Structures are given as structure tokens and as C-alpha cells.
Amino acid sequence: MGDILIGAITLASLAGAAIAAALAAPHHLTLRAHRRTGASR
């Protein structure tokens, strides 16, 4: 049971880190992506 708990905690921490990185990323990249898709249409 201990290994399952450790695995769940590590997965949760990794997910939290990924979310934090996504929020910290500059929004200019997402704006460029949206502009590119809009221009291609």
C-alpha cells in the first residue's frame, strides 16, 4: 500500500508542476497559435 501512496503523491506533484509551468508560460505563445489557426482558415 505504501508504494501506491508514494506513486499517487509523485503523480500529483508532477501534475501540479505541469500546471504551474503552463500558467507561468507566456501567453504570447497561445496568442500566436490562435492567430496562426485563424490565418490558415
Spatial distance between the Cα atoms of 7 and 10, rounded to a whole number of angstroms? 5
Nine-digit cell string for 25: 508560460
Nine-digit cell string for 20: 504551474
Spatial distance between the Cα atoms of 15 and 13, rounded to a whole number of angstroms? 5
Identify the pLDDT of residue 8: 95
pTM: 0.50
Give the confidence band of 9 by pLDDT, cuts at 50, 70, 90: very high
Positive or negative, the CA dihedral 11, 15, 17, 18 is: positive
Does position 7 have pLDDT exceeding 80, yes or no? yes
